[in-house]
Structure 1
Amino acid sequence: MSQLDPLPSDLPFRIISKTIGRGAYASIKKAIPPHDTTPIFAVKFIHKAYAVKHGRISAKQIAMEVSLHSHIGQHPNIIEWFATGEDAIWKWIAMEYAEGGDLFDKIEADVGVSEDIAHFYFTQLISGVSYMHSKGVGHRDIKPENILLSDSGNLKIADFGLATLFEYQGQTKLSTTMCGSPPYIAPEVISCSKSTQSRHAPKGSGYAANLCDIWSCGVVLFVLLVGNTPWDEPTAQSWEFEEYLGKKGRSTDDLWQKLPSSVLSLLRGMMNVDPRKRFSFNHIKQHPWYTRRNPLLTADGKMTDPLSLATQMLEGLRIDFSQQPTSSQRVQRGSDAMDLDDDHTTRFSFTQPETPINDVMFDWERPPRVNATTAFSASQPTRTSDGGICTMTNGSAGHPFESLADEPSMSQFTPAPSVPLSLTQHARRFRDIVPNYSLTRFFSHLSSPLLLQMLSDALHQLNVPIPPVSQIQGREHAGWIKVKTLDGRQCSMNGDIVIDTYIAGEAELLEVRFVKVKGDPLEWRRFFKNVVVLCKDGVYVPSA
């Protein structure tokens, strides 16, 4: 694809942002009506030729996305569909803008959320997916990347690019297309894919898309509760999955031990390896854990107290500087960490190509800057001999960085997780406490060269390839590091680490933002934590 393919010129709306989201063959931007400033909605632009050539997707599947999304986009937990249009090159879909961002960006890796919060979001997920299924539509790609939040903190299911109609006029059909992300995919999808892709194996009969969605919802619930997936993929390549199979769902793995005992039978039912015995929505909705009393939930599935929920979520995010960096999954039992499996062909291919649509075409919108509009003292911070800025005590009268005490992302660095009173006192809605931008950011008192060297060393320790420090200093920014790597579950992950100067009066800090472009938001959160722990000497933490 080249820059000779501009976006359509006769759009019935005005684009008001750079790229806010991007897939393998699509870009998402914000837009408003032609003669008004509200509402703000999202528009997904699909480059049709690029999608067919590189996206392993047919023109029919692109048309199917539009058709199915418009068919089901009328539920409070599903991103609403508004309109569609196309020219010779592009197809666009206008839809509701999920202003709250990724749900899983607000969940601590390796920790998860409280049982009440997990239960609240799980009931909303089930509500949305069961409605979809009642219309005969299977999503086939339920994973954290496709679970967003409204500005009021309610769950929204997104991205129907792999959806299918599994039931029409009483007739059901099986799918044979390989769909989904390895940790969230149902095992029969892989079995079917292997049998249909091999010349010698008998052709698989296919899989039921709706039953695969239920499996994926079970994995999402697991991740909500413990902050990690149960396995890399549901195949013999994963010892965690092999043990789950061997023990008939009664795994002795540490992650399963963290789960509340009351939820285990629900998870085993949803993640039954035999699709014929897997729980239906009726089973799920009658399970004691699903029907449990939840102070965060009204009888009709609404949020009782958005401010309390937001406060609990923000308090749950914590960077522990005493911890060593963690990987998503542990090394296989009895093997050496360096003893990698030679037969990489046993891993199944990903649904989407590894190289998203090019960067030049889509200029990534930077997340909002922190506002330093408070009146600051003009006193200069004390500079060290190496050009860095000394760590300063926050909260003192007239301190240049006192406004950072109210910055939501700063609470994750305090020794005891707490939400600033200033946030809760003035909050009127969910997003006043949990912001719509990503919380994967920190501030540093170091000089730009020192910080870039520290980040470079940390990424090197984590085996993330980056250019030399001299090449990651920019004119527009203090630094910009492109990250392209595999996460702990061997899934593709890429994004940017953007460094800007944050000025308060005559004092300054560096603001470091981790912007995910592609990948699991929880894995991106884990990556951010690992880098921050390795850079702990350069992180500015306000004093209590």
Structure 2
Amino acid sequence: MQTSTFVDDWLCYNTILGEGAYGEVKLLIHKKSQEKIACKIIDHHKYKDASAAINREVTIHKLLDHENIIKYFGRRQEPLKEYIFLEYAAGGELFQLIEPDVGMPPANTQMYMKQLLCGVSYLHSKGIAHRDIKPENLLISIDGILKISDFGMATLFRFKGRERLLDKKCGTKPYLAPEVLQRPYKAPAADLWSCGIVFVAMMTGELPWAEATDKNEEFLKWKNDIYISETPWAKLGNTALSLARQILNVDSMRRLKLEQIERHPWMRLEFSFVISGNPLIRSTENSSDSSEDGSEKPAKRWNSMVEAETRMNRDTPTVTQSQPTISHRHSTIMEAVDSLRNTRRDQVCFSQPTQNEDLVLQFTQSPITKDNFQDLIKRLTRFYVKTGLEKTLEVLCTVLDSLHYGWTTDANGAVSVTTVDSCKNQLTFKANLFDMDGKILLDFRLSKGCGLQFKKKFLKLKECLSDIIDNKDVKI
């Protein structure tokens, strides 16, 4: 492995951890200390309007210092590129822990809600509104701590004790409070509405509506109080539903404030046992463990999921409102295979002086192997296959064609998949093939769109690829 020496050597894996509106995020690892940080790389030549937005984001982010906020370490600016250095949380996005249409154990939901509210409380105490709270922007550290990330839409709503109403319509539609789309709004109430949608997603594995407007049938039922037999509300016990109703009050003046959410009975329930720092499913509240008709909720599914997933800490400062890398569509699957056969996959090496603010970059090759792969994010959307590199790509692309998904390959041999979700919104994700000491790992990563919808698509693809999946080698 070629490296360069300046003061301290930092290796940078070319594998992309996440993508943002103005660039991509990669992982930096110190060769000696094994310290890890995330590096957001912005290409100003490609994104000519990025400078002002990045400056606003950095100005806000550098003011923050809290356990439940991703830490900002520094930046390096060049004429055409910029590097933002952030805390690396090894667990990935919160949505990875949410099983589509099922959710996660109520105890885990409570734990993450408390941490989310703690981080939001800190932001609001500083007069800062996040304005894009969603599972894709909530990361989990190696210690299982939730971290709020992506301050690209954050703004100051209070300065020297004076508050202002906000009027910019920004964020992600399913998580936006109704007033955001209608009129000037109070920032704290809008952020807490988004937290309420995250709560429902964690509890049920689905979003209640595509947007909180009268054009949406599901939202109208909620607004008119005729929702009780509808999904996702029918999945909630009485106490959890009470909390959701009060956080998601359409009248922002009557919506629960942060301290009231923290005092709600559901938030004060006691859950028994802990595994790997995360609570188990079993709760002292019957209505959280069973549906209102007395039938058992999918506890066994939750139990097996928690035991598997809580061992797989995850993180990566990633942004889901992102742009795919430049790619080209192959006219046939065999052309993609031929391209992959001739693709050279380079890695990057960063050398760093003492201060993060002044990183010196040099590029070298550094292959990914089973020995160092654990440094990258532990996602649940990857698996080993029994087939070789070229055969795997051929089978994958054939399945994508059969599902009528659009796909292209980029210069590194990654497959970029485009489709629409159930709300007809664009969904883009990447499939990377890694040769791990002779075994092929197929890794899927969300690029743009809803994390829950991405996981649904992944599960469908996994089912279609079941004949080539190697179930013996699962420690990834």
Q: Give the drift of 1:307.
A: 5.2
- Distance in 2 (alpha carbons) for counterparts of 1:247 and 1:364: 55
- How does 1:312-323 map onto structure 2 within 5 Å? 315-316=304-305
C-alpha distance after superposition, 1:356-385 (max 9, x if no partner): 46579x98999965569xxxxxxxxxxxxx
Query: Is the contact made by 2:193 and 2:248 (CA closer than 8 Å) also made in structure 1?
Result: yes
Residue equivalent to 1:465: 406
- Distance in 1 (alpha carbons) for counterparts of 2:420 and 2:161: 42
- Distance in 2 (alpha carbons) for counterparts of 1:26 and 1:11: 27
- How does 1:372-387 map onto structure 2 within 5 Å? none
After superposition, the Cα gap between the structure-2 partners of 1:135 and 1:367, relative to the gap in structure 1 and judged at 3 Å, is farther
Q: Which has the larger radius of gyration?
A: 1
- Distance in 2 (alpha carbons) for counterparts of 1:364 and 1:227: 36
Residue equivalent to 2:460: 530
After superposition, the Cα gap between the structure-2 partners of 1:128 and 1:11, relative to the gap in structure 1 and judged at 3 Å, is farther
Residue equivalent to 1:225: 203
Unpaired runs of at least 5, structure 2: 1-5, 282-300, 309-318, 329-344, 349-365
Q: Give the drift of 1:38.
A: 4.8
Residue 125 of structure 1 aligns to which amino acid in structure 2?
L
- Distance in 2 (alpha carbons) for counterparts of 1:225 and 1:64: 34
- How does 1:254-269 map onto structure 2 within 5 Å? 254-269=231-246
C-alpha distance after superposition, 1:200-227 (max 9, x if no partner): xxxxxx1222211101100001010111
After superposition, the Cα gap between the structure-2 partners of 1:189 and 1:108, relative to the gap in structure 1 and judged at 3 Å, is same
- Distance in 2 (alpha carbons) for counterparts of 1:155 and 1:185: 21
Q: Does 1:520 align with 2:454?
A: no
Query: Is the contact made by 1:367 and 1:437 (CA closer than 8 Å) also made in structure 2?
Result: no
Q: Give the drift of 1:501.
A: 5.2
Query: Is the contact made by 1:77 and 1:155 (CA closer than 8 Å) also made in structure 2?
Result: yes
Provide the TM-score with structure 1 as the length reference. Answer: 0.65
* Equivalent residue pairs, number: 406
Three-state SS of the structure 2 residue aligned to 1:220 is helix
Residue equivalent to 2:357: none
- How does 1:267-416 map onto structure 2 within 5 Å? 267-295=244-272, 305-306=275-276, 309=279, 315-316=304-305, 355-356=323-324, 358=326, 370=370
Q: Does 1:215 align with 2:193?
A: yes
Three-state SS of the structure 1 residue aligned to 2:268 is coil
Three-state SS of the structure 2 residue aligned to 1:126 is helix
CA RMSD of aligned residues (A): 3.9
Three-state SS of the structure 1 residue aligned to 2:173 is coil
Residue 243 (structure 1) aligned to one of 218, 221, 229: 221
Residue equivalent to 1:493: 427
Three-state SS of the structure 2 residue aligned to 1:101 is coil
Query: Is the contact made by 1:26 and 1:45 (CA closer than 8 Å) also made in structure 2?
Result: yes
After superposition, the Cα gap between the structure-2 partners of 1:292 and 1:165, relative to the gap in structure 1 and judged at 3 Å, is same
Residue equivalent to 1:39: 35
Residue 20 (structure 1) aligned to one of 17, 20, 23: 17
Residue 522 of structure 1 aligns to which amino acid in structure 2?
L
Residue 247 of structure 2 aligns to which amino acid in structure 1?
M
Query: Is the contact made by 2:108 and 2:280 (CA closer than 8 Å) also made in structure 1?
Result: no
Q: Does 1:455 align with 2:396?
A: yes
Three-state SS of the structure 2 residue aligned to 1:162 is coil
Three-state SS of the structure 1 residue aligned to 2:174 is coil
Three-state SS of the structure 2 residue aligned to 1:266 is helix
- How does 1:3-82 map onto structure 2 within 5 Å? 14=10, 16-18=12-14, 19-31=16-28, 37-48=33-44, 51=47, 53=49, 59=52, 61-72=53-64, 74-82=65-73
After superposition, the Cα gap between the structure-2 partners of 1:307 and 1:135, relative to the gap in structure 1 and judged at 3 Å, is closer
After superposition, the Cα gap between the structure-2 partners of 1:354 and 1:290, relative to the gap in structure 1 and judged at 3 Å, is closer
Residue 383 of structure 2 aligns to which amino acid in structure 1?
F
Q: Give the drift of 1:176.
A: 1.8
- Distance in 1 (alpha carbons) for counterparts of 2:73 and 2:209: 37
Residue 214 of structure 1 aligns to which amino acid in structure 2?
L
Residue 152 of structure 1 aligns to which amino acid in structure 2?
D
Residue 28 of structure 2 aligns to which amino acid in structure 1?
A
Q: Give the drift of 1:230.
A: 0.8
Higher strand share: 2
- Distance in 2 (alpha carbons) for counterparts of 1:32 and 1:522: 30
Three-state SS of the structure 1 residue aligned to 2:428 is strand
Identity of aligned residues (%): 31
Residue 22 of structure 1 aligns to which amino acid in structure 2?
E
Residue 154 (structure 2) aligned to one of 135, 141, 163: 163
Query: Is the contact made by 1:102 and 1:149 (CA closer than 8 Å) also made in structure 2?
Result: yes
Q: Give the drift of 1:190.
A: 1.9
After superposition, the Cα gap between the structure-2 partners of 1:16 and 1:132, relative to the gap in structure 1 and judged at 3 Å, is same
Q: Give the drift of 1:499.
A: 3.5
Query: Is the contact made by 1:25 and 1:357 (CA closer than 8 Å) also made in structure 2?
Result: no
Q: Give the drift of 1:141.
A: 0.5
- Distance in 2 (alpha carbons) for counterparts of 1:24 and 1:364: 23
Three-state SS of the structure 1 residue aligned to 2:213 is coil
Larger mean CA deviation between 15-24 and 143-152 belongs to: 15-24
Query: Is the contact made by 1:174 and 1:207 (CA closer than 8 Å) also made in structure 2?
Result: yes
- How does 1:409-488 map onto structure 2 within 5 Å? 436-446=377-387, 451-452=392-393, 454-466=395-407, 480-488=414-422
Three-state SS of the structure 2 residue aligned to 1:496 is strand
C-alpha distance after superposition, 1:418-469 (max 9, x if no partner): xxxxxxxxxxxxx99xx932121233335667655543343234331236xx
Residue equivalent to 1:3: none
Three-state SS of the structure 2 residue aligned to 1:493 is strand
After superposition, the Cα gap between the structure-2 partners of 1:169 and 1:267, relative to the gap in structure 1 and judged at 3 Å, is same
